[in-house]
Amino acid sequence: MKNRTTNTLEIFKNHVMRIFILFLLTSFTLVLNAQNISGNVKDGEGKPLQGVTISLLKDSAVIKLAATKENGAYQFSDINAGTYKVSASYVGHAPVVSAPVTVENTSVDVPDLQLTTAAADLKGVTINC
Does the pLDDT of residue 21 top 50, yes or no?
Answer: yes
**What was the pLDDT predicted at 1?**
54
**What was the pLDDT predicted at 127?**
80
**What was the pLDDT predicted at 105?**
87
Mean pLDDT of the chain: 85
Q: What is the CATH class of 35-114?
A: mainly beta
Average pLDDT value for residue range 5-13: 72
Pick from 33, 86, 39, 77: nearest CA to 58: 86
Distance CA 75, CA 93 (A): 21
Whether 32 contacts 105, CB under 8 Å: yes
Beta-carbon-side half-sphere exposure of residue 11 (alpha carbons within 13 Å): 6
DSSP 17: H
How sure is the predictor about 30, in pLDDT bands with cuts at 50, 70 and 90?
Answer: very low
| Residue spans per domain, the chain | 1-33, 35-114
pTM for this entry: 0.68
Condensed to tens digits (0 to 9), the pLDDT of residues 47-79 reads 999 999 999 999 989 999 999 999 999 999 999
Give the residues across from 83 on adjacent strands: 102
Which of the residue ranges 23-27, 29-33, 88-92 has the most confident prediction, judged by mean pLDDT? 88-92
User: Where do the DSSP E strands lie in 5-128?
Assistant: 35-42, 53-58, 61-67, 73-79, 82-89, 96-97, 101-103, 108-109, 113-114
How sure is the predictor about 46, in pLDDT bands with cuts at 50, 70 and 90?
Answer: very high
